[in-house]
Amino acid sequence: MARYVGYKKPKNTKKTVLRLMHYLGSHKILLFLVAVLTAIGSLANIMGTYLLKPVVNNYILPGDIPGLLKMVLLMGLMYLAGVLATLGYNQLMVRMAQKVVSEIRHDLFVHTQSLPLSYFDAHTHGELMSRFTSDADTISEALNSSFTLLIQSGIIITGTIVMLVVLNWRLSLIVLFFMALMFLFIQFNSRRSHKYFTEQQNNLGSLSGFVEEMVTGQKVEKVFNHEAQDFDEFCRRNEALRKAGTRALSYSGMMIPTIVSLSYFNYAVSACMGGLFALANLIDIGSLTSYLVYVRQTAMPMNQFTQQMNFLLAALSGAERIFEMLDAEPETDEGTITLCKAEEQPDGTLTQCEPSRGVYAWKCPEADGGFRLVPLKGDVRFFDVVFGYTPEKKILNHINLYAKPGQKIAFVGSTGAGKTTIINLINRFYEIDSGTITYDGLDVRDIRKKDLRFSLSMVIQDTHLFTGTIADNIRYGRLDASDEDVRRAAKLASADSFIRRLPKGYDTMLYSDGGNLSQGQRQLLAIARAAIADPPVLILDEATSSVDTATERMIERGMDSLMEGRTVFVIAHRLSTVRNAKAILVLEHGEIIERGSHEELLEMKGRYYKLYTGQFELE
Amino acid sequence: MLKRLFSYLRPYRLQTVLAIVCIELEAAFELIIPMIMAGIIDVGVPTGNKAVIFQKGFQMVICAILALIFGVGSARFSAVIGQGLGAELRKAEYRKLQSFSFSNIDHFRASSLVTRLTSDVTAIQNSVSTGMRPACRAPFMMLLSLGLSFVMNWKLALVFCVAAPLLGVMLFLIVKNVRPLYGKMQGAVDLVNRIVQENLTAIRVVKAYVREDYETAKFEESNLSLRNTAQKAFGLAALNMPSMQLVMYATILCLLWIGGGLIRAGGMQVGELTGFLSYVLQVLNALMMISNVFMMLTRSLASCRRIVEVLDEEVDMTDDEAKEIEVTSGAIEFDHVFFKYRQEAPEYVLSDITVSIKAGETVGILGSTGSAKSTLVQLIPRLYDITSGSLTIDGHPVREYPMKHLRDAVGMVLQKNTLFSGTILDNLRWGKEDADEEEIRAVCSIACVDEFIGRLPKGYDTELGQGGAGLSGGQRQRLCIARALLKKPKILILDDSTSAVDTATDAKIREGLAAYLKDSTKLIIAQRVTSVMHADKILILDHGRIQAIGTHETLLKENAMYQELYHSQQEGVGL
């Protein structure tokens, strides 16, 4: 892959390098070995060139065949060492690079999952994805080759400079001057190309955004015969990208030829001056010849050195972005109360027991080191809860609510009224600003998040399915569920009949978020997934919005029997979905404006009544 | 396959030639400049002639300037053709993509199509832009050095005849074996990315079900397999450097040994040997460069294949049977229509659909989730082709209409209503490119868009995000209806397109429609019975079959499903 990433300077190079080194762990010694091997390889190379002259002058010219044989064997050994060293460091580096990068990816993945949802709200998926892809790739590439190439060219440059100074220090000033010039040019050029590459990247982003939008909206495009106009728009963006790309690459492509030409200038000036020096007897002709050979050798390592330096810097800034993400604060979890399987004794008390009887209890540690068991019932209360995604804008204002175990509570209200937010607070996807939420009388903040969420099943607005079979997706709710359980849950969610009509039934593979299913079918699967978990508390957030009313009724009957005696929260746009709830809460602008049963609310002739009779549209 | 891709370079033929010429000329200076330099040392210094030294120096400077010009030229032209090729490829792919039917798109999946159009093309254009120089330069330098060394001393040059093929074979073996490994690695990369992507989008599900450990285990497996395949692939690829060194060093030693013998026997000058050695380095370096180019091509081969797959995909919906006819009145006839999405699917999605719809009629369609209501109406504008039976409009099979005319005559508001980024006006104009303000106002008043447009910060010029972000579901639906109305279609299809609109507005829109499109055939899919109860005809679909056809009155009397639906939704209405 061509590495055409313009680089941004890392902010804190030293710290980033240290952290990267940490990933090398026990391989730090190996890294040192790599450096040594690289040095051996490059020295073998330089020495080989250097030895040619004495071999020719001292052995070939006098015709000393045994001496020549000895020298050839000696050089052979040296070369062999060089080859083996090269082989060694290449292979070592490849393995190390992959190990480091795979560990970085692992840490990133694990950390990603511990991040709070607010982090995902603040960053786009594309942005987070690129940590795993392009940023990790640049690190891998840099470790793979840049590191050793950098050492190699560094050694060659130093070696050459030393040789030049030794041969004739006055003449070497010319070379040093040109080297400085090359260095400055490379710096200037890469800074400028970085600007152009950013421009190219932006154009590419705009183009792929367009293509993505058009591919997803292709039905509309076809229905409206809009192909020609879209093609024109595509061509416009494509052309802009082509222009930006050409600019960027013309510019960055100039680098090598310019360096080469500079080295020709260097060569020309050195040759002229060398000639004059020779006339003035400041240098003998033999030394001048080998001097000029070394001069010719300066350009390529210079070029390589700076290029690899830039790759390395790009990798470091990639690493910096990765570390930034790794440093993001994970979800806090100070809860100590855990969930355990319990058994009710004849005397009504609870004891902990291993095989599940479907009864759970909260295990609350006491100050004396013991614990007390609180039965899990699904009693959820909000006391004066205030919450906002940002401190400036409160979404919920002083919410008080009480869900008795076994009740079905429904939320009705416009988009943005705060229905989903309330639910996201129960399972602590977000932290409340003030007030208290209790669960079976315990503050939710005292319950370990894992256990809290385990006790709640959620079907959310946007159904997300995973690549895998339909059965796998349902089983996501309870990993050890049997095939029979899967089928039962599917039946409960009215999904069984459509699944059986699929070509491979429960073994049908789903790809890319279940793209081959209709929205309604995906919702049914999401409900089955929640049903199989058999949770004490169930949350349905617009779970049946794309399901027809008849099927919805069937699901409702199924879920009602499953959730008998347990708490259910329902959010729906469609009022038929919430009608049989025990309590319906009408939310507006983060406040509960009406509450009561369906009949009571109709009596009130307020907002709910208007909604129900179609006089008011939810937004 | 490469040849196929490079055929897209045709518009840039001139630039390609210029790029190659520039590269070769620039390379020539690499050989010319040392020769001029030799003049300084061999002639200038021994004779003590300063004029010669300066003259040669001046020549070298001229050469350096020319080399700079050609070098910059080659960079410029390489960039032009690399980016040009990329642009042409993207254009070809996009054009092809537009002609795709939905089964074609399903075949690739939308997200993969986007990558094939962007990152895959970028990979190719980058290898062209970077690979141009070494690919043109290396063979040139190799042949030239080879030729010169043979001229200099053909006996010694025979060493090449062993060394070059040996290195060639080694490099070939590496490239050949690395290729399938790169393929495997790409597969592993895709898997890792897919899992990450899924976890990012479904993070709420993962957290809600406390499946972090499960997902991590899944990820770790793919991560490890990526690490192993990458180590294998890169490890093998890294062998080319030591192989090259091995051959190069061996050649140098052989030359010294054989050359030493030749010199002693008087068959060769010392100066020749030194010159010869520099040619050896040139030739082997060139070989190395060539192998690097191959390595790069190998890696972009996967991208090539993915692009060619798109270009070569057979489009299964064409205008082959089209005649020059247009929809005149809008009468639709389904006659024993069967349909399934894929040939190999065991069951039909729609079975034995027979219904006749007269021009100007309003038809309501009801049915449960998965009863294939949407599929049924999507057959009319040929978003999908029927599998068997016949579907005619005004007596002609839909396949006989050119797609453009057919779709111009059919206005459709889809269930998943897609709006595009741009202003509201831009979106409305999808219906009619040159619609004037009056027309827009008219349709917006029918679709009740005017009720909320005034409340938006910039009215019709309000910018919408992708998918119409910033509007509520009901507002989006109303806009989509207005957009379809601008077409003044002969056949209007509303696929559950007022589900988020309140009942009063729903009724108002229906009334407006009836007046505005009096002569058009209207098909309305709905969940709410009230949305279709005034239709001339109501179709009840069940599992892809027509369960009943009738009017509100007859169905209410005879059809159990309709009765249940009606009564379940009746309560509350009309209170």
pTM over 0.90: no
**3-class state of residue B353 by DSSP:** strand
| Residue of B12, B15, B98 to mutate for A, most A C-beta atoms under 10 A | B98
Q: Which residues of A touch B277 (CB under 8 A)?
A: 52
H or E, element range at B36? helix B13-39
pLDDT for res A6: 44
| Residue of A61, A426, A548 to mutate for B, most B C-beta atoms under 10 A | A548
Q: How confident is the model at residue B221 (pLDDT cuts 50, 70, 90)?
A: very high
Give the residue with greater pLDDT, B111 vs B157: B157
pLDDT for res A68: 84
Opening angle at CA B434, ends B429 and B439, nearest 5? 75
The mean predicted confidence, pLDDT, of chain B is: 84
Six-digit token string for B164: 């070059």
Cβ–Cβ gap B230/A458 under 8 Å:
no
Is the model's pLDDT at A5 over the cut of 50? no
Q: Which of residues 14-73 of B touch A (CB under 8 A)?
A: 26, 29-30, 33-34, 37, 40-41, 44-46, 48, 50, 53-54, 56-57, 60-61, 63-65, 67-68, 70-72
- As a whole number of angstroms, the distance between CA A551 and CA A493 comes to 9
Does any CB of chain A come closer than 8 Å to the CB of residue B544? Answer: no
Q: How confident is the model at residue A111 (pLDDT cuts 50, 70, 90)?
A: very high
Least confident range from A261-270, B287-296, B534-543: namely B287-296
Query: pLDDT tens for residues B459-500?
Result: 888 888 766 666 777 788 888 999 989 888 899 999 888 877
Least confident range from A66-70, A225-229, A351-355: namely A351-355
Q: Which residue of B has its CA nearest to A63?
A: B264
Q: Which residues of B touch A236 (CB under 8 A)?
A: none
Give the residue with greater pLDDT, B14 vs A192: B14
Query: pLDDT tens for residues B398-440?
Result: 999 998 888 888 888 887 767 888 888 888 888 888 888 888 8
Q: Letter for the amino acid at B384?
A: Y
Query: pLDDT tens for residues A297-350?
Result: 777 787 788 778 777 877 888 888 899 899 998 888 888 888 887 777 777 677
Least confident range from A49-63, A78-92, A178-192: namely A49-63
Is the model's pLDDT at B87 over the cut of 80? yes
Pairing outcome for strands A456-459 and A468-469: unpaired
Q: What percent of chain A has pLDDT over 90?
A: 12
Least confident range from A543-547, A551-555, B212-216, B532-536: namely A543-547
Six-digit token string for B61: 């400077």
Domains and CATH numbers, chain B: 2-312 (1.20.1560.10), 332-570 (3.40.50.300)
Does any CB of chain A come closer than 8 Å to the CB of residue B2? Answer: no
Alpha helices in A493-569 (DSSP H): 496-501, 519-533, 549-562
Cβ–Cβ gap B241/A503 under 8 Å:
no
Write the residue in B94, B197, B209 that is nearest to A476 by C-beta: B209
Query: pLDDT tens for residues A210-222?
Result: 888 888 777 788 8
pLDDT for res B391: 93
Cβ–Cβ gap B245/A86 under 8 Å:
yes
Mean pLDDT across B152-157: 80
Does any CB of chain A come closer than 8 Å to the CB of residue B216? Answer: yes
pLDDT for res A7: 47
Is the model's pLDDT at A618 over the cut of 60? no
pLDDT for res B575: 33
Does any CB of chain A come closer than 8 Å to the CB of residue B172? Answer: no
Mean pLDDT across A128-154: 84
pLDDT for res B165: 86
Task: Return the exposure string of A411-427: e unless at least 16 CB atoms fall within 10 Å of the residue's CB, then b.
Answer: bbbbeebbbbbbbbbbb
Query: pLDDT tens for residues A552-588?
Result: 888 888 888 888 878 888 888 777 778 788 888 888 8
Q: Which of residues 301-330 of B touch A (CB under 8 A)?
A: none
- As a whole number of angstroms, the distance between CA A276 and CA A475 comes to 86
Cβ–Cβ gap B102/A68 under 8 Å:
no
3-state secondary structure B413-439: ECCCCCCCCEEHHHHHCCCCCCCCHHH
Does any CB of chain A come closer than 8 Å to the CB of residue B260? Answer: yes
Contacts of A505 (CB under 8 A, 6+ apart): A470, A499
Q: How confident is the model at residue A484 (pLDDT cuts 50, 70, 90)?
A: very high
Q: Which residue of A has its CA nearest to B227?
A: A98
Q: How confident is the model at residue B363 (pLDDT cuts 50, 70, 90)?
A: very high
Does any CB of chain A come closer than 8 Å to the CB of residue B569? Answer: yes
Does any CB of chain A come closer than 8 Å to the CB of residue B161? Answer: no
Cβ–Cβ gap B569/A576 under 8 Å:
yes
Please give, rounded to a whole number of angstroms, the shortest distance from the CA of B160 to a CA of chain A. Answer: 18
Give the residue with greater pLDDT, B252 vs B342: B252
Task: Return the exposure string of A372-398: e unless at least 16 CB atoms fall within 10 Å of the residue's CB, then b.
Answer: ebbbbbbbbbbeebebbeeeeebbbee
Q: Letter for the amino acid at A149?
A: L
Please give, rounded to a whole number of angstroms, the shortest distance from the CA of A11 to a CA of chain B. Answer: 27
Residue B548's CB is within 10 A of a number of other CB atoms, namely 17
Contacts of A266 (CB under 8 A, 6+ apart): A174, A175, A178, A295, A298, A299
Torsion of CA A8, A9, A15, A20, to 10 degrees: 50
Mean pLDDT across B326-352: 85
Distance of CA A189 to the CA centre of its chain: 31
Give the residue with greater pLDDT, A257 vs A613: A257
pLDDT for res A356: 56
Contacts of B287 (CB under 8 A, 6+ apart): B138, B142, B164, B167, B168, B171, B244
Q: Which residues of B touch A98 (CB under 8 A)?
A: 227, 230-231, 234
Six-digit token string for A346: 């004849």
Mean pLDDT across A434-455: 89
Q: Which residue has the tokens 């190719």?
A: B124
Q: Which residues of A touch B29 (CB under 8 A)?
A: 264
Cβ–Cβ gap B242/A229 under 8 Å:
no
Query: pLDDT tens for residues B501-528?
Result: 777 788 888 888 888 888 899 999 987 7
Query: pLDDT tens for residues B542-564?
Result: 888 898 999 999 998 988 888 88
Give the residue with greater pLDDT, A77 vs A53: A77
Mean pLDDT across B21-28: 89
Write the residue in B90, B212, B270 that is nearest to A113 by C-beta: B212
Mean pLDDT across A224-237: 88
Q: How confident is the model at residue B88 (pLDDT cuts 50, 70, 90)?
A: very high
Q: How confident is the model at residue A475 (pLDDT cuts 50, 70, 90)?
A: very high
Does any CB of chain A come closer than 8 Å to the CB of residue B224? Answer: yes
Q: Which of A421, A360, A378 is nearest to A582 (CA)?
A: A378
Does any CB of chain B come closer than 8 Å to the CB of residue A285? Answer: yes
pLDDT for res B222: 92
pLDDT for res A243: 93
Q: Which residue of B has its CA nearest to A529?
A: B209
Give the residue with greater pLDDT, A85 vs A518: A85
